[in-house]
Amino acid sequence: MRVRVSLIILIQEKENPVRKRVVRIFSAVNPAPAVLFLWLLAGASFAAGQSAVLKLNALTDAQARAVGVRNVIVMIPDGMGSAHATVGRWYKFAKTGVNRLSFDDLACGMVRTYWSTGLITDSAPAASAMATGFKTSYGYIGLRPAKTAMPGLSELLKGEESTPVASVLEAARLQGRSTGLVVTCEFPHATPAGFSSHYVQRSAMDLLAEQQVYQGLDVVLGGGRRYLDPSARKDKEDLVKVLRDRGYAYVTDRASLLAAKPGKLWGVFAPTAMERDLDRDPRIEPSLTEMTRKALDTLNRNPKGFFLMVEGSQIDWGGHANDPIGTATEILAFDEAVQAVLDFARRDGDTAVLISADHSTGGMSIGTPEIGDMPVARFAEVVLKAKATPTKIAQRLTEGPAPSLDEAKGLIAGLLGISDLKTEEIAALAGPLKERSAKKLELELGHAVSRRVGIGWVFTGHGGEDVTFYCLHPRDLRIGGVIQNTDLAYYSARLLGANLGAVTGRLFAPAGRDFTARGAAVSIDAADPDNPVFQAVKGGHTLRLAVNKNLAELDDRIILLEGVVVCTAAIPGPSVMDPNTWFAPRAAIELLK
């Protein structure tokens, strides 16, 4: 109680010089009236029992002790800026009559999203920042940056550039907690990979998937079957077999997901990404909420607790497509998943929930040069007519035999609900229809909807402005104010009682340097260029460490490691031969006596 009161005083002092003086006078005489006075001034938010937010680097001993929880759930609405959230909320109101998002009440800060050398981040460095506490380079997954050139970032020590750093998920796993990822993109896509893999290029999804499979996660649910399939993988490895051998239930449709028995679970419901929620066939693909519930159910059986990351992956793709329908319906799907998580967390009483986008997408505005205001009834009328996203409609219009312009107009009227296309809109569709360009068509269709509801878009890339931070803590010990994306990692580590630096030391020892220091002769066997092996020889013993796996081969004995072996060089490529690009769990190095 005393802690809460003093925090409130600090905030009030900052806000109002007159109050500050009054508080000082009261406090000097007797603290009690000052407190009472402040409670009266503080208004509804404090009266409702919300305390001021914490500063991570200034916790009192009591706060540091009380902040720890059993379970941490990080939820990422990829690409959701505040305009997107607002449009999502109005869509929810139009559809259900509920005029609030499930996470509205939890808003407590803004997140600065910039990356290691610029203002406008990509999902890979953003996820890496939220997972590891390091703002990093474009395309980087779970590594320190190649260089830093932004305020507040400390300079890299020589040799530290592009080296792997532990994620909060890995920290939780080493503590014996269960870990899980739930997404609707491909499971090795940038955001989930940022929490569970380490490599210089986000596009190397075959490689990232392999690390995830050997990472010892308990639950992985999403899209991306192709990345496990030997006929589609570049290295021809059968990762489904690996999963089965390691005791995972492997499921590929909604019914088998719902029926899966407790235990390790890997579910992939589409060859690549899953469908947008609005376009989803519920007989095949589960919803984000169903996957999240299943993950909670499975992970919560561990008495030591769990770490779970849930991503609303395709809100971002709605933004890239300048599509209000895809954006809003994906936010609605995310909103429902958050509700399921909050229901769990409040029931559990020992779970913290952190929600933040990685960046915004598309430069969305509510209001345009043509439309200065929009009645909610008109907004509802337009958006509720859409039965499919522009992305799906564009796909339908570009596969199979080419439709005539009239057939295309019919499909657009039926699925998007727009039957009053203007002459210039029809002209704009004709080109992409002829070219059979789904990308250009989805953009034209997205703009057709946007024009009718007063939504504007600046471009199809990411935005560099702050995004909203939402948080639930069972004892209300939340961080907030204007924070950094890296603070999500530091706060998560606090919640878990983990030291990320120590975990990095334990999981990613520099193999070239450390084996050499032990007197071993090191070399790289790249006979199979896609699967190079680090080799260390000492005293008649040979230790072989295959890349991206948690396996050590000591002479002819296989030993399971507590983390995966990482090579940060491009694979295949000449730098693979440099032992200094290899990292392995410290325990692997200690295997060579």
Q: Would you say 362 or 432 has its CB closer to Zn ion? A: 362
- Burial zone of 18 (CB within 10 Å; 0-12 exposed, 13-18 middle, 19+ buried): exposed
Residue 176, number of CB atoms within 10 A of its CB: 10
Q: Which residues of 142-171 are buried (b: 16+ CB within 10 A; e: fewer)?
A: bbbbeebeeeebeebeeeeebbbbbbbbbb
Q: Which structure tokens are listed for 330?
A: 């994906």
Cα gap 210→223, rounded to integer Å: 15
Give min distance, CB of 369 to Zn ion, in A: 26
Question: What amino acid occupies position 242?
Answer: V
Cα gap 455→502, rounded to integer Å: 47
Give, in order, the Cα–Cα distances in Å from 415 to each of 44, 90, 99, 383, 445.
45, 21, 26, 11, 11
Q: Which residue of this chain has its Cβ atom nearest to Zn ion in the complex?
A: 316
Give min distance, CB of 188 to Zn ion, in A: 16
Q: Name the nearest CA neighbour of 322 among 452, 443, 417.
A: 443
Q: Would you say 275 or 316 has its CB closer to Zn ion? A: 316
Q: Would you say 190 or 308 has its CB closer to Zn ion? A: 190
Q: Which residues are catalytic?
A: 123
Residues that bind Zn ion (CB under 5 A): 316
Q: Would you say 108 or 288 has its CB closer to Zn ion? A: 288
Give min distance, CB of 309 to Zn ion, in A: 17
Phi, psi of 437 (to 5 degrees): -100, 105
Q: Which residues of 226-256 are buried (b: 16+ CB within 10 A; e: fewer)?
A: bbbbeeebebebebbeebeeeebbbbbbbee
Q: Would you say 115 or 214 has its CB closer to Zn ion? A: 115
Give min distance, CB of 320 to Zn ion, in A: 6
Q: Would you say 206 or 316 has its CB closer to Zn ion? A: 316
Give min distance, CB of 122 to Zn ion, in A: 7
Give min distance, CB of 431 to Zn ion, in A: 25
Instruction: Give me Rg for the CA atoms of the chain.
Output: 26
Cα gap 163→463, rounded to integer Å: 27
